Amino acid sequence: MFTEDGKFAKGYLTVEYACLYCHPAETKQWALKYDKRVHTLGKK
């Protein structure tokens, strides 16, 4: 989400920030598999 120096925020969230922060044992490929539907999982 932020530049390498932490000074600027990008205009979007990355899976590294949004997913892998809480799931550090997973891979970027794992996160990308669920990124489009993560907020709909478990809902009818």
pLDDT at 41 (0 to 100): 59
Q: What was the pLDDT predicted at 17?
A: 82
Model confidence, pTM? 0.55
Quote the pLDDT of residue 30. 93
Question: Phi and psi at residue 9, in whole multiples of 5°?
Answer: -90, 140
pLDDT tens digits for range 1-44: 678 888 887 777 788 888 898 899 999 999 998 877 776 656 65
pLDDT score for 39 = 63
Neighbours of 6 (CB within 10 A): 8
**pLDDT on residue 28:** 93
